[in-house]
Amino acid sequence: MRRIWLAASLAGSLLVASPALAVDKAGAMLKEANGNEVGKVTLISTPSGLLISLDLTAIPAGEHAFHIHAVGKCEPPDFKSADPHFNPDETKHGLMNPEGPHAGDMPNLHVPADGNLQVEVLNPAVTLSAESALLDTDGAAIVIHASADDYKTDPAGNAGDRIACGIVTP
Ligand SMILES: [Cu+2]
Ligand SMILES: [Zn+2]
């Protein structure tokens, strides 16, 4: 009798544990300091990592750093509320840093003259839920900077001001 009860309760807890936490898609609306929407981000969980699709509509032409920051808060005008780069492993900044990168570090965006850019980036270091989760209690934000990331200067790649910010939302 006791063995049957144990098996039943185990099955019950497994059922509760898995589907409730799984989030496989999220989005973010990128806004400048004046509140204008300048792009949309879609984040999709894949077995290879988080697939991030960007649809930018009004970013100044040129090369811009593109990161995931640690807190889902975008307060204008400087967006400092998003805190530093998402860095659950407490590493150093930069794709070219031997002690890096942060989980939130990603390649620069090259925006053409008309300010429109569609691009997809795979970030294998982050997930939406479970480990290295963007949707943890303080959330996360997608940030675009005024200048390029030099991929090595800790803690932020010398990328200058934060010109657009979007809160990752399930
Ligand atoms: Cu950044
Ligand atoms: Zn970084």
Decide if 76 contacts 35 (C-beta within 8 A).
yes
Give the distance (Å) from ligand 2 centre to CA of residue 60. 22
C-alpha–C-alpha distance, residues 132 and 86, integer Å = 9
Distance in angstroms (rounded) separating the CA atoms of residues 34 and 154? 29
Which pTM was predicted?
A: 0.87
Compute the distance from residue 170 Cα to the ligand 2 centre, in Å.
Answer: 23
Which residues are CB-contacts of 36 (< 8 A; sequence separation ≥ 6)? Answer: 58
Domains, the chain, in order of start with CATH, read 22-167 (2.60.40.200)
Ligand 2 mean position to 16 CA, how many Å?
36
Contact 90, 142 (CB under 8 A): no
> pLDDT (tens digit, 9 = 90+) per residue, 134-157?
998 999 999 999 999 999 999 999
Distance 54 CA to ligand 1 centre (A): 15
Distance of CA 142 to the CA centre of its chain: 5
Helix (H, G, I), strand (E, B) or coil at 161: coil
Q: Which ligand is nearest to the CA of 90?
A: 2
108-134, pLDDT tens digit by residue?
999 999 999 999 999 999 999 877 799
- Nearest ligand to the C-alpha of residue 165? 1
